[in-house]
Structure 1
Amino acid sequence: MINALQLPCTLFRTQKRMDDYSASDMRCGELTETQLRTYYGLEYISDQVDPWTLTRRSSMDRPQSMFCCHLRGQGKKLTHQQCTAILFDEFRSLSRQFSFYGPYRHLIEKMIPHMQAGNGTPFRDIALNRALKEQILNDMTDKSTFFRIKEVIKNYINWEKNTFPIEKKGEFRKTISGSKLPKFDRFQDNFNGMGVTIHDTRATDITLRSLQIHNDRYRAVVHYRVQDHFGLDSDDIRKTKFSQFHFFRIWFVLQHYTQFGFRPFITNMEATVEISGGRNES
């Protein structure tokens, strides 16, 4: 007696859980000026303002290098609200160096205002779902989750009974665990807006929603649910690849400085893909 897999069925779930608001990159408003300047080297943050003194900078205030950072802005005194607005404007402007071509370049300019006004509420956008689906379908490597799932389905279907045995369910997790989950760390993602908005993903659930088997052919519908955090943690800003850019320095200060404390948020993406094939396919 062969017991068929009951659908829908979770094929894979990352150890990092969904909706994890306790993660380090979800913290905000917990670091003082002294901590940010001393421990993180964030003395010079912005070419427009000095957030430590709430003053507007002039061109004479700007160091030739971000590594010679003991200058104070001597310009016009600003209110807290004015300083925040200028920092977010500069944040948006600097984002363009990471998102200047392709259909997803506009996403960062939606996500920064969401951080500014969203109070930590989750973010969704149809373009993110489209980018996720394209990434899944266009991954032609041997570590593709799409091809790994297809391989398991084909190899373990009981073709005589037109069922997938429930005792082979574990093969999905085993095979997917050795794959590369969908993320946006390709070379083109450095410039198309996906690297700066998503880059690595945090939590992934993959569910087999349906599986039809007939005449030595199968058709499966697989749903991906993916989350990332639009936030930076201490490990991020200590990396030169982040700290060298004013973009990330401004982001970190807006998020973590006690006087700002803008809340990071969870980014939600989902995609449904169809996988089909036949018994005699190679």
Structure 2
Amino acid sequence: MAALQLPCTIFKTQNWMDDYSARDMRYGDLTEIQLKTHYGLNYISDRADPWTLTKHSAFDNPRSMFCCSMRPAGDKITREQCATILFDEFRMLSRQFSLYGPYRYLIEKMITHMQYRNGAPFRDISLDRALKEQIVRDTSSENSTRLRLDKAFNTFIDWDNKNYPMKNKDDLRKAIAFGKLPKFDRLKDNFNGMGITVHDTWATHITLKTLQIDNERYRAVVHYKVQDHFGLDDDDILKEKFRTFNFFRIWFLLQRYKLFGYKPFMTNMEATVEITGGRHDV
């Protein structure tokens, strides 16, 4: 019976890695008229007006008691100055989504990356750590890809020949496909910074690196490669719950408005986990 040759990629999402044609990777493609009429983005920022390139005051904020009565003309600013003001406000507003924990600083770091790195991919050791924690701490036997792989290994390993049969390779893919891929959509992710930096993910590749079988026990080393897009598409901004926040309005404008066109980027994460079990495990 032919054995599975390792390392072996056992799962890939339908979405591609490095898919720069994805809708949330568009940038600099919308006009002022489109942003105002189709997306309802008339008021963007409490600090600057990107349409007139002027600074804002309390008289301009529609949530202010002083708005719309006496409205002195704001100071004129350049496009570059306006972008700087908007990015500073973007970072400040991000803090409402990252209140505590070791990952709370990541969103500001990623906003700065968008401002200065011209679409270059983003990596950070903290993202790798967050991914590994999410995989290891998921104890749902129904959803956890780690626990579902454990069950598949236990079921399909050829214990007599001490290998995993090639004919059962697709059972590993199915084990993962019927679970829930690691993502950051838990309640706590709304406040610890991971929900706003990553939340859902775009593409995932899972590779079985090694599989050691001895004394009716096995030890598998499994590598997760996960990619997300730090960018917004039309569906994001057209949702009322997002469009009401200046945070998302500023993000969408900086990314999609022709005057700015700051590039979204790929967020890359990797984690290697060890899965162990035995022939007679229940």
What amino acid sits opposite 2:89 in the alignment? E
**Structure 2: distance between partners of 1:41 and 1:53:** 17
Which residue of 2 is the match for residue 159 of structure 1? 159
Deviations 1:130-179 (A, max 9, x none): 00000001111121101111111110011111111100001011121111
Q: Is the partner of 2:223 in helix, strand or coil? A: strand
Q: What aligned pairs does 1:234-245 form with structure 2 within 5 A after superposition?
A: 234-245=234-245
**Structure 2: distance between partners of 1:87 and 1:277:** 52
Contact 2:59 2:71 (8 Å CA) reproduced: no
Shift of 1:124: 0.2
Which residue of 1 is the match for residue 117 of structure 2? 118
Q: Is the partner of 1:61 in helix, strand or coil? A: coil
**Structure 1: distance between partners of 2:188 and 2:136:** 16
Do residues 3 (structure 1) and 7 (structure 2) align?
no
**Structure 2: distance between partners of 1:150 and 1:111:** 35
Shift of 1:74: 2.8
Contact 1:242 1:248 (8 Å CA) reproduced: yes
* Deviant stretches of 4+, over 2 Å: 71-74
Q: Is the partner of 2:59 in helix, strand or coil? A: helix
Identify unmatched segments of 5+ residues in structure 1. none
Which residue of 2 is the match for residue 249 of structure 1? 249
Pick closer, same or farther for the CA change 1:40–1:213 going to 2, 3 Å: same
Query: How many residues are paired up?
Result: 278
Q: What aligned pairs does 1:211-250 form with structure 2 within 5 A after superposition?
A: 211-250=211-250
Shift of 1:72: 8.3
Q: What aligned pairs does 1:11-50 form with structure 2 within 5 A after superposition?
A: 11-50=10-49
Q: What aligned pairs does 1:176-215 form with structure 2 within 5 A after superposition?
A: 176-215=176-215
Q: What's the % identity of the aligned pairs?
A: 64
Contact 2:224 2:271 (8 Å CA) reproduced: yes
Contact 1:56 1:76 (8 Å CA) reproduced: yes
**Structure 1: distance between partners of 2:244 and 2:153:** 46
Identify unmatched segments of 5+ residues in structure 2. none
Which residue of 2 is the match for residue 133 of structure 1? 132
How large is the RMSD of aligned CA atoms in angstroms? 1.5
Contact 1:50 1:73 (8 Å CA) reproduced: no
Which range moved further: 197-206 or 155-164?
Answer: 155-164
Shift of 1:42: 0.3
What amino acid sits opposite 1:245 in the alignment? F
Contact 1:61 1:74 (8 Å CA) reproduced: no
**Structure 2: distance between partners of 1:167 and 1:8:** 16
What amino acid sits opposite 2:122 in the alignment? F
Which residue of 1 is the match for residue 54 of structure 2? 55
